[in-house]
Structure formats: C-alpha cells, structure tokens
Amino acid sequence: MTSPILTPRDWESHPAYLSPGYRSSILRSPGSPLIPLKENLRNRRVPVYGADDLGVLDNDLTRNAAKNGEPLGERIIVTGRVLDEGGRPVRNTLVEVWQANAAGRYVHKADQHDAPLDPNFLGAGRCLTDDDGRYRFMTIKPGAYPWGNHPNAWRPQHIHFSLFGEYFGSRLVTQMYFPGDPLLDLDPIYQGIPEHARKRLVSSFSIDTTQENYALGYEFDIVLRGPDQTPTE
C-alpha cells in the first residue's frame, strides 16, 4: 500500500501555540524549533483499531458508566462525518470524546470545581466511523465551568474530540462547541482560533438527528487535513 501524499497544513486556520490570553499556553508552547520526522515515519500508515476493541456501550455515555440509574442532565445525540482533505469519508477511524457532566465537572482528581459529580456519568466514550465516515454518540449536554484563566472566567459548553486517521498526519485533537453559546465571545481558547476558522468548531442543531421525545441532535463534521481542516484544540 502506497503512502498518501499530504498537502501542507493550513496553519492560518489553527490557533497559535502561544496565545497570551490563554494562560496555560505560556507554559506548554514550544520554545525550540520543531524536529522534522524522517519521511518514512511521517507518511507511515500506522495500525489503528478494529471493532473487537470496542464495547457495545462505548459510544453511549448515558449508559456506559451507569450504576444505579440514568445520568442527570439534557440528553443529546452528537453525530457527524470524519472527512479527509478531499472531502472523502474516513472509514474505521477511532473517535474518542471526553467532557464535563451537566453540572460542569469532570471525573478527574484535578477537577476541584464546587459542583456535584454524577455517579452514573463518566464523561468518556469512543467509537469507529462507519463506511460513510460517520460517528455517533449519545451523551449529556455538558455544563459550563469556571477555569481560573482570568477573573470570572468560564469555559463554554464543549466536548473534547480525539481522532486517529489512517496515518500519522491525520491525528487531530479538538473541541466541539454548541450554537448560540454567549460564552464563546469571552473564551480565550475559542477566540485564539483565527476568526475565519472558528465556526468550524461550532456544531449545528439538527432536527433530523433529534430523537422524538428523547434527545436533541447536533451535527459536527470533522476534516482531518487540508484548507478546511477542523482547527486543533
């Protein structure tokens, strides 16, 4: 199998590594030039994932950690297509998500936000895309939360995405936001993305995806590379 020819990344669509308004980027942005990978590693098709590695409830965050009931909050369906730089579907790619619960708290020891944990909600899931490049998650709409970046700082409601494409150059970590969130205009992470590319991180409400009497639906397509690539986190 020949390695794919990758177009150069469109760095004008991604946030800068160093965004002074986003305080933690000061500590984690690189201070030295990048080290180029050898050609055979850069283009290498790496082993990915098969259906045998996934559980039947891995993509249903409303059930994959339930202990004694359903998680609290608004049920939502999040779906979309994973596409390559030519708009073609990327099949059998691993999509992982993690998020805060409806009260805006993560299941993580570093999260000490004064909000309740939900014993029936882990906030993590994964699935493989189908032949059309589509993924689908059932989950709870995450809450906003304070994050201490600046006075009265609150993160917009969002879901984190991690994707492994067919090769090393198609790795992507990003965030999905919700339409109409007033906190987007105040968020340094979202505002750190070049203005022309910000809307690529905002999902669209979909009545067709909505499940009657059960859950609202949102569509979020992800492009792994090229001029329309979904910006990185």
Per-residue pLDDT of the chain (233 residues; tens, 9 = 90+): 444 556 666 767 777 777 777 777 767 677 777 676 655 554 555 545 555 678 999 999 999 999 999 999 999 999 999 998 899 999 989 999 999 999 999 999 999 999 999 999 999 999 999 999 999 999 999 999 999 999 999 999 999 999 986 666 667 999 999 999 999 999 999 999 999 999 999 999 999 999 999 999 999 999 988 889 999 97
Look at strands 94-98 and 222-223 and give their pairing.
unpaired
User: Can 177 be counted among the known catalytic residues?
Assistant: no
Using left for φ > 0, alpha for ψ between -120 and 50, and beta otherwise, residue 109 falls in alpha
Residue 6's pLDDT is what?
61
Q: Which CATH number fits domain 56-108+116-223: 3.40.50.10140, 3.40.1400.10, 2.60.130.10, 3.30.310.50?
A: 2.60.130.10
User: Can 49 be counted among the known catalytic residues?
Assistant: no
Domain boundary assignment for the chain: 56-108+116-223
Q: Which of 14, 81, 105, 106 is catalytic?
A: 106
Say if CB 125 and CB 85 are below 8 A apart. Answer: no
User: Can 160 be counted among the known catalytic residues?
Assistant: yes
Say if CB 83 and CB 129 are below 8 A apart. Answer: no
User: Can 155 be counted among the known catalytic residues?
Assistant: yes
Q: What is the pTM of this model?
A: 0.83
Q: Which of 126, 155, 200, 225 is catalytic?
A: 155
Using CA atoms, how far apart are residues 15 and 148, in angstroms rounded to an integer?
A: 20
Residue matched to tokens 């609202």: 216
Using CA atoms, how far apart are residues 43 and 52, in angstroms rounded to an integer?
A: 26
Q: Which of 14, 81, 158, 200 is catalytic?
A: 158
Residue 233's pLDDT is what?
79
Q: Which of 14, 81, 126, 160 is catalytic?
A: 160
